[in-house]
Structure 1
Amino acid sequence: MRLALGIEYDGTDFLGWQRLSHGPSVQAALEKALSKVANHAVDVTCAGRTDSGVHGRCQVVHFDTDAERSLRSWVLGACSNLPPSVAVLWAQPVDDAFHARFSARARQYRYTLLNRGVRPALDARYVTWERNRLDADAMHQAAQALIGEHDFSAFRAIACQAKHARREVQAIGVHREGDKVMVDIRANAFLHHMVRNIVGSLLPVGRGEMPGAWIGELLAGRNREVAGPTAPASGLTFLGPLYEDGWGLPAEVVL
């Protein structure tokens, strides 16, 4: 039987999603918990790996098991064996053809900037502090140059292992809610550090240091060295993947 799970996590104290030999990862914590519930070793496959310090609102994974447990038992059993910073939100049986990564049609991220003169205390783990006043409307207009299928080499980490830099950004928006500025982006897939590099390049536009047209120029130039710096991991949350309706998954991950 193949099961899909929705996973929520605070990535601050992990070295990223992927299992590592030299430090804590979300994948290792989840597999350890699920293995206890299943009473056999469990290997999970995720929709999209996140980097060290990045959070997950609804990461989707799948795994195969012969263990007979109720869906409630999978959820509560896993949660009882996970650290407080990770939770299983739901469990759903899926067809054997379902693949958490390859069946996904899109992925969504949100980057949250706390835009005020005083550093955060309560939200420090989940935002990036920007003391200079940002023009969210200018950032939004500049970001529209990124919509469509393009070569995103200008926003690709040097260590990125993807075979090519072409990705399709389906939607991107920047809006303000009080003293927070949010950057929401949806694409078919993402390059290593792509969202954080885009945000790092939108910040000079928001501060008035660069014109809005600069973002389109960076995209066309394909030169990572002249784009903005990589924004910190703390402000980034993987909202989750999106799938076609036929898999029978919860509405929050369906197109």
Structure 2
Amino acid sequence: MKGLPLPTPSVTAPVSGPISPTRTICLTLEYDGTAYHGWQRQANALTIQEVVETCLARLTGQVIRLHSSGRTDAGVHALGQVAHFLTTSSLPLSAFREGLNSLLPRDLAILKVCDAPAGFHARYSATAKTYEYRILNRPVRSPVHCNYCWWLARPLDQGLLRQAAGYILGEQDFAAFQASGGSVKTTTRKVMAASWEEKPGGWRIFQITANGFLRGMVRALVGTMVEVGWGKRSPGDLKRLLAARDRRQAGPTAPAAGLYLVEVRYD
């Protein structure tokens, strides 16, 4: 959380010469992204990568570089982010988990640690990812959940939301839902599952699984489908937008606070 003390970036033991990597360690992380400017290390902003790398340096006495399954944006949360690093440390796996969790701030935790095979890469070895987006759809905002959802007072039509989700299934070009600044070879992605679920208390949960995601893709899809749920667009408009490949024609980008990286899958 904001205001919590962070680990000092100093390394407890000097590193002389290049490190010869002998182990690939894989971490599964959970974090509240509210206080961070996303995953990727930045010069003038606090990030998840920086905090975890700093703690790893204190734990191992080595300079560690983390590689994640993907770069979550500022304010986005994770229930199952995956990252790996190379090290010559002989620490047992339990020491990595317990040691890191003793150093990390309260809004970040290591759920699992395992040895991965040589050549494993948290990003390039992934076969699918699942994201979830949470909307609180009720007349009154929630002070408790304000950093963890998108509050919408205007009612959404659940049937229209579900119809809209059906149009994004399969292998399609999602250029219309890519945020500016993305640099990828192709904007085609395969969506294996996409659904809206209504839960008690006004919650609307969107969950999507795909073989990969473009920058801002999930939030752009949610913003567009919300307009469908309000009757401003027809569900079939998603098909037209996919064919148009024009981000300007799609809906707004949903706020980061409602987005969660749920799971990363590997063969």
Report the equivalent of 2:245. 222
Amino acid corresponding to residue 251 of structure 2 in structure 1: G
Amino acid corresponding to residue 57 of structure 1 in structure 2: L
Report the equivalent of 2:230. 207
Post-superposition Cα deviations, 1:191-213, rounded to whole Å, max 9, x if no partner, equal 01000000000001111222111
TM-score by length of 1: 0.94
Q: Which runs of 5+ in 2 are unaligned?
A: 1-22
Report the equivalent of 1:28. 50
In 2, the alpha carbon distance for the partners of 1:190 and 1:141 equals: 21
Report the equivalent of 1:84. 106
What secondary structure is seen at the aligned counterpart in 2 of 1:199? helix
User: Which structure 2 residues correspond to residues 222-241 of structure 1 after superposition, within 5 A?
Assistant: 222-241=245-264
- The share of aligned pairs that are identical, in percent, is 38
Post-superposition Cα deviations, 1:14-64, rounded to whole Å, max 9, x if no partner, equal 110001111000000010111111111111111111001100111011111
- Offset at 1:222? 1.0
What secondary structure is seen at the aligned counterpart in 2 of 1:146? coil
Amino acid corresponding to residue 61 of structure 2 in structure 1: N
In 1, the alpha carbon distance for the partners of 2:263 and 2:41 equals: 19
**Residue of 54, 58, 72 corresponding to 2:76:** 54
Contact 1:33-1:79 at 8 Å conserved across structures: no
In 1, the alpha carbon distance for the partners of 2:72 and 2:158 equals: 26
Report runs of 4+ in structure 1 exceeding 4 Å deviation: none
What secondary structure is seen at the aligned counterpart in 2 of 1:12? helix
Post-superposition Cα deviations, 1:138-190, rounded to whole Å, max 9, x if no partner, equal 11111111111111111011211222211111110011002100110011110
What secondary structure is seen at the aligned counterpart in 1 of 2:162? helix
Contact 1:109-1:236 at 8 Å conserved across structures: yes
In 2, the alpha carbon distance for the partners of 1:162 and 1:120 equals: 37
What secondary structure is seen at the aligned counterpart in 1 of 2:218? helix
TM-score by length of 2: 0.89
In 2, the alpha carbon distance for the partners of 1:136 and 1:173 equals: 11
**Residue of 131, 134, 139 corresponding to 2:153:** 131
Report the equivalent of 1:5. 27
What secondary structure is seen at the aligned counterpart in 2 of 1:174? strand
User: Rg larger in 1 or in 2?
Assistant: 2
Amino acid corresponding to residue 73 of structure 2 in structure 1: D
Amino acid corresponding to residue 98 of structure 1 in structure 2: F
User: Which structure 2 residues correspond to residues 131-170 of structure 1 after superposition, within 5 A?
Assistant: 131-170=153-192
Amino acid corresponding to residue 156 of structure 1 in structure 2: Q
Report the equivalent of 1:17. 39
